[in-house]
């Protein structure tokens, strides 16, 4: 049988929580034109301004969640890689990071050097966005051309509605519901509204009314991150048999002054506390591995905010991480859903 490698790709973290490493990481991340989609001179100017203050604040936040083995996102991604290997019989499973190390270039070269010619690339993002999925695939294309790698590539598309993924997510959440709760908040990483409009092939669907994303279908759904977040949420709520008033969706991690997709997590936290919700569960389904945005932004800061607003308990439900059902589901999705690489 021809060997086929599997390359999992996650976002990446700074090498350490030191300010210099965080600055280097943020510079690489934010200078990506798929993340800050401004012309180079404006992007350089904006990122330079962000880098005046952000690295210090972010370094402090990273230091508060850093583990002895390293960044939670990196450590948990490695654990997932090992767990997926036991379900991937076609060949070795590798892990790369879009920003920082190990890079996509290092891993694709390693795969080619091992004489493997077929690779499945799995960007570890359930919902499609240019700032996550497209930038990974663009980097893969760049590396293939620059290093003339003789690799035949297929890629795993966004899996926001795949039953195997949703079943694993429901298995992860279920025990927390059984402990008793008032409300389950599904908080996704946000995006500037501009990114959603740019990706909208109809030019008129997205964000035109409050529930446009819930109605999205076909080519619009395939490109609309917000619509995919709602589909994931509906699929999860259905599996957990949640009544509509027991769950809601919000978007976190805003940066800068542009308008980001709503509703904002901070505002939902205030509103839920004001409605009398005391025991709040939060799951972050845009992330498959716990990271700064789950452990610190939700587990620490959102918790403080909710308690200050009158809530009694906010519990962060861990991401899928290396859950055995998720590892098996991911291997299965890569076998069954990967499509020929076509950027
Ligand atoms: C314009 C800025 C950003 C966009 C767009 C964006 C999209 C986006 N990001 C993730 C996943 C993660 N982001 C993480 C951290 C993070 N994100 C941004 C900015 C944008 N993200 C910044 C500046 C940071 C760094 C931390 C900080 O200073 O706040 C992380 C965590 C990484 C870690 O090391 O733990 C993840 C994961 C998605 C899924 C997404 C689009 C949907
Ligand atoms: Fe982000
Ligand atoms: Fe939409």
Tokens at 85, concatenated:
């290997």
Mean pLDDT by 10 residues, the chain (343 residues): 94 98 98 97 97 98 98 98 98 98 98 97 98 98 97 98 98 98 98 93 75 88 95 98 98 92 96 98 98 98 98 98 98 98 83
The SS3 call for residue 97 is strand
CA atoms lying within 13 Å on the CB side of residue 95: 19
Burial of 343 (0-12, 13-18, 19+ CB in 10 A): exposed
Distance CA 247, CA 58 (A): 30
Of 124, 293, 319, best ligand 1 pocket probe by most atoms within 8 Å of the beta carbon:
293
Per-position DSSP letters for 152-207, written without gaps between them? EEEEPPP-TT-HHHHHHHHHHHHHHHHT--SEEEEEEE--BHHHHHHH-TTSS-TT
CA distances from 129 to 64, 110, 157, 192, 197 (A): 28, 27, 11, 11, 12
Q: Is the CB of 291 under 6 A from ligand 1?
A: yes
User: What is the reported pTM?
Assistant: 0.96
Spacing, Cα 189 to ligand 2 middle (Å)? 7
Distance CA 95, CA 78 (A): 7
Q: Is the CB of 287 under 6 A from ligand 1?
A: yes
**CB 89: neighbour CB atoms within 10 A?**
10
Of 131, 196, 226, 316, best ligand 1 pocket probe by most atoms within 8 Å of the beta carbon:
131
Spacing, Cα 11 to ligand 1 middle (Å)? 8
Report the pLDDT value the prediction gives residue 343, as an integer from 0 to 100: 75
- Residue having the nearest C-alpha atom to atom 23 of ligand 1: 26
Contact assessment for residue 181 and residue 281, using Cβ atoms and an 8 Å cutoff: yes
Per-position DSSP letters for 116-153, written without gaps between them? --EEEEEES-SS--IIIIIHHHHHHHHHHHHTT---EE
Distance CA 234, CA 244 (A): 10
Return the ligand number nearest the Cα of 199.
3
Contact assessment for residue 321 and residue 172, using Cβ atoms and an 8 Å cutoff: no
**How far apart are the two ends of the chain, measured CA to CA in Å?**
28
**Same CATH topology for 4-159+324-340 and 163-316?**
yes
Spacing, Cα 154 to ligand 3 middle (Å)? 27
Ligand 1: atom nearest CA of 14 is 34
Report the pLDDT value the prediction gives residue 21, as an integer from 0 to 100: 98
Q: Could you tell me which of 208, 228, 209 has the C-alpha nearest to residue 217?
A: 228
Q: Is the CB of 286 under 6 A from ligand 1?
A: yes
- Planar angle of CA 11, 16, 20, nearest 5 degrees: 100
Tokens at 343, concatenated:
């950027």
293 annotated ligand-binding residue = yes
* CATH entry 3.40.50.1400 includes domain 163-316: yes
Neighbours of ion ligand 3 (CB under 5 A): 206, 213, 216, 224, 226-227
Query: Which one-letter DSSP state was computed for residue 4?
Result: E
Distance CA 278, CA 182 (A): 7
Query: Which one-letter DSSP state was computed for residue 87?
Result: T
Spacing, Cα 1 to ligand 3 middle (Å)? 43
What ranges do the domains of the chain cover? 4-159+324-340, 163-316
Q: Could you tell me which of 124, 71, 69, 118 has the C-alpha nearest to residue 96?
A: 124
CATH class of 4-159+324-340: alpha beta
Residues 6+ apart with CB under 8 A from 181: 246, 279, 280, 281, 315
Report the pLDDT value the prediction gives residue 342, as an integer from 0 to 100: 80
């Amino acid at each position: 049988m021809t060997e086929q490698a599997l390359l999992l790709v996650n976002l990446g973290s700074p090498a350490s929580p030191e300010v210099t490493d965080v600055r280097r990481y943020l510079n690489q991340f934010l200078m990506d034109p798929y993340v800050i989609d401004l012309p180079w001179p404006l992007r350089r100017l904006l990122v330079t301004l962000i880098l005046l203050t952000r690295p210090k604040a972010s370094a402090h936040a990273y230091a508060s969640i850093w583990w002895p083995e390293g960044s939670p996102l990196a450590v948990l991604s490695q654990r997932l890689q090992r767990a997926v290997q036991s379900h991937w019989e076609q060949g070795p499973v590798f892990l790369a990071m879009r920003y920082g190390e190990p890079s996509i270039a290092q891993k694709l070269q390693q795969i080619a050097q091992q004489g493997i010619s077929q690779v499945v690339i799995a960007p570890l993002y359930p919902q499609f966005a240019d700032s996550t999925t497209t930038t990974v695939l663009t980097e893969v294309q760049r590396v293939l051309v620059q290093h003339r790698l003789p690799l035949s590539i297929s890629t795993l598309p966004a899996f926001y509605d795949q039953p195997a993924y949703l079943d694993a997510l429901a298995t992860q959440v279920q025990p927390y519901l059984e402990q008793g709760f008032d409300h389950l908040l599904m908080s996704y990483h946000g995006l500037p509204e501009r990114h959603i409009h740019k990706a909208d092939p109809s030019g008129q669907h997205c964000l035109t009314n409050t529930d446009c994303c819930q109605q999205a279908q076909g080519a619009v759904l395939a490109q609309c991150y917000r619509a995919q977040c709602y589909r994931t949420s509906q699929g999860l709520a259905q599996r957990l048999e949640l009544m509509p008033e027991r769950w809601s969706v919000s978007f976190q991690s805003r940066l800068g002054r542009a308008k980001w997709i709503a509703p904002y997590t901070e505002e939902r936290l205030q509103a839920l506390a004001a409605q009398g919700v005391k025991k709040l569960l939060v799951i972050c389904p845009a992330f498959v591995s716990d990271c700064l945005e789950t452990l610190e932004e939700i587990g620490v800061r959102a918790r403080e905010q909710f308690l200050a607003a009158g809530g009694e308990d906010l519990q962060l439900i861990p991401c899928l991480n290396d859950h055995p059902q998720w590892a098996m589901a991911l291997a299965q999705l890569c076998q069954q859903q990967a499509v020929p690489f076509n950027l």
